[in-house]
Each structure stands twice: as C-alpha cells, then as structure tokens.
Structure 1
Amino acid sequence: MNTADDAPGVHSVIGVDAGTVSLREADHLIHDLVDRLGLPSGTIACTHLIRTDERRGTAVSLALPDTGAARAAWERIAALAELNAGAVLADDVYGSQPLTHTAALAAREHARRESGRAVLYPGVEHLTGTVTTADLLDLTAIERLVVVGMPTAETPASTTPVLTRGHVRPEWRAGDLTLALVPAAGGTLAPFEVPDPTPCCADHP
C-alpha cells in the first residue's frame, strides 16, 4: 500500500498539544483523539518532540485523508476542552498559547513530511506477531526500510522475517514514511524502537 502521493497538505493536518511529556503519553493521546474526534480510516497520526524555550515535551499531528475529513474532525474540536489542549488546522486555532504554537509546529512538520513518528497509519493493524519485510511495504503506508548498520543502498530480502512485538513506529524522513530496523536473533529483524515494558494502549497496535 503506497499513500505517499496522496499525503495531505497543511489544510488536512491538525496539530494538537495537550501538554504531554513522554512518547508513551503522546501515544495514549493519539488513541484518545481517535475516539473523541471520530477520525476515519486512512488517518496518519504522529508524535513530535517539542524543544522550544517555553516547552519540552511532545505534541501530535493528525493527517486526515482529505480536506473535508479534516474539517469534519475540526468541527468536533470542542471535545478537547477537558484536555486543556491547543489545536491548529491551517489558519484555524483552538486554545491558548504556547500550546497552539507547538501544535502548529507539529502540524507543519507533518504536512511537509519532515519529521513525525507515526503511531496510527494505514495497515498498522496488520503488524502483529511476525511479518515479512514485503508485508511491511505491501500492506501498510510504510514506504522505505532501513537497517541500522547496513549501507543505505542495500535493502533486506523481501522474505526476511520481522518481529513486530506489536509496536511498529515508522518516521517521516525526507518525504518517506521510513521504518528503522535492527538485526535480531536467528537472521530476523525487529523495529529499532523497543516497546515500553508495559505499553500504553495495549489493545492497540
């Protein structure tokens, strides 16, 4: 599955900062927002590290399939009131500074595909147990694989097993949704990011 050419622009990306600090908290926020905003399939939701003079923590971005879906989600943005969050969609702003500023940073990074660690993306539901590298590329929105320690020009064989551990977090790199892998036991590979020992949202991939 390849959705790169259809990646939404700034008018389809909502940035949200609810004051989360860790990646684990941001992952939980994403799953919470899926329910609160009724986000449709095809949404790509990412976490972003925030390092400004005022804020050290994480924000999230929600790339909806199209402008209409983003506008529909934005109309439900009042559901964020109890989260004390800031949110941004293009020129629309909800909440107060500095949260709206950092929410805008997250939305901009995602819209430009410059950075962002994807938690929710098309095909993620397939990534449980052991899959192949071909499955990663064919069944999900992941576009590129890199293996730590392997030359960039080289790619693993399409039949190489990947131990997902139910935790696969690709990142935007130079416009591609890219998954970093590391060698694992028995000639297998595994995602570079190790899941939390007691992962947030255990029912979610």
Structure 2
Amino acid sequence: MADHWIRSLSPAPLLACTHLVQEPFRHVAISLTGPSDGTFQTSAELRPAAAAALTGKFGRAVIFPGVDQLVGTLTVGEILSLSAIDKVEVLGSGAADESQRLDTCDFVRPQFRFGELVLTTTPAAGGLLVPFETRYPTPCCADH
C-alpha cells in the first residue's frame, strides 16, 4: 500500500523509503526527499516516528536515483554505476563481484542502512543473482 501511494506522488521524490517504526505505535513510516530543501511540520504524536525515519539507520527504498534503469539482466558493476545503490550483497556471502550478472526481475528494493543503499540478492538458476525481495512474495505458510 505504501509503495503505491509513494509511486502516485507528483512530482516524484528523489528518494522515498518505508521504515518500520515502533513509536508511538508499530507502523510503517515514509520518508521523502524532494528536489528542494523545503521543511514540513510533523504533528507532535508522529515526531518520534519521523525522528526514527530521519536517523537513516534503516529503511526500504522504493524510489531512488536510477531505479528506472534497473531492468532486465545487468552486471553488479552496471547496477552500481547506473543507480544510487552503494553495495550489492549476496545473502549470507558478503559483497557480490562486480562482474556477477543480476536479473533484476524489474523490481529492485534496496535497504537504506546507515546512510547507504544496499541491495541484498540471492543466487538463482544459471549462475545469476536475483533481488532477495520479490514483487510477489510467497506468504509464510501459504500451503497451510
């Protein structure tokens, strides 16, 4: 739901992330960075959530520079040069080699961690990598 709302914004933000926050209650907060340095008032009850999102420690990037170019199969090096993604990691294995080929599945959602955009991937058939997060995730225990 948050992704759809973020993608409906006009003009689109330069960077838009979702953040799971606990204050003042468990919810998804959204941070937006636009082309200007405008400031907005945040209501008192949502200030703890805004502060948590602004720390930049964690977030899931929905819109970021270069996201529209990350379609099809690209090398890790191409992903790093075409977009704002700072690192590509293989789940449980560390940094991906820049020559490794990655099938983006036309859906790339890096994590914003401590000021860097990090794309987590997993190995796939044919020696490719794919993003860990998929457009249509299988719900846990779907067959129960």
Q: Which runs of 5+ in 1 are unaligned?
A: 1-24, 72-88, 198-205
Alignment of 1:49 onto 2:25: no
Residue 116 of structure 1: SS of its match in structure 2?
strand
Alpha-carbon contact 2:119-2:131 (below 8 Å) kept: yes
Give the aligned partner of residue 18 of structure 1.
Answer: none
Q: Which runs of 5+ in 2 are unaligned?
A: 138-144
Q: Report the residue type matching 2:67 in the other structure.
A: V
Alpha-carbon contact 1:63-1:110 (below 8 Å) kept: no
Structure showing the higher helix proportion among its residues: 1
1:166 to 79, 103, 106: 106
Q: Map 1:17-166 onto structure 2 (within 5 A).
A: 25-32=1-8, 34-35=9-10, 38-39=11-12, 43-52=14-23, 55-67=25-37, 70-71=38-39, 89=40, 92-93=41-42, 98=45, 100-101=46-47, 105-106=49-50, 108-150=51-93, 152=94, 155-166=95-106
CA distance in 2, matches of 1:65, 1:57: 26
Q: What is the Cα deviation at residue 194 of structure 1?
A: 1.4
Residue 77 of structure 2: SS of its match in structure 1?
helix
Give the aligned partner of residue 178 of structure 1.
Answer: 118
The number of aligned residues is 137
Alpha-carbon contact 2:18-2:29 (below 8 Å) kept: yes
CA RMSD in angstroms, aligned pairs only: 2.1
Q: What is the Cα deviation at residue 132 of structure 1?
A: 1.2
Residue 113 of structure 1: SS of its match in structure 2?
coil
Q: Which has the higher contact order (CA 8 A, sep 6+)?
A: 1
Alpha-carbon contact 1:109-1:116 (below 8 Å) kept: no
Q: What is the Cα deviation at residue 55 of structure 1?
A: 3.0
CA distance in 2, matches of 1:59, 1:112: 12
Q: What is the Cα deviation at residue 143 of structure 1?
A: 0.4
Alpha-carbon contact 1:117-1:170 (below 8 Å) kept: yes
Deviations 1:92-123 (A, max 9, x none): 23xx564x33xx524x3443321110000000
Q: Map 1:184-199 onto structure 2 (within 5 A).
A: 184-196=124-136
Q: Report the residue type matching 2:135 in the other structure.
A: P
Deviations 1:139-183 (A, max 9, x none): 100001111121x3xx32222111111111111112211111111
Structure showing the higher strand proportion among its residues: 2
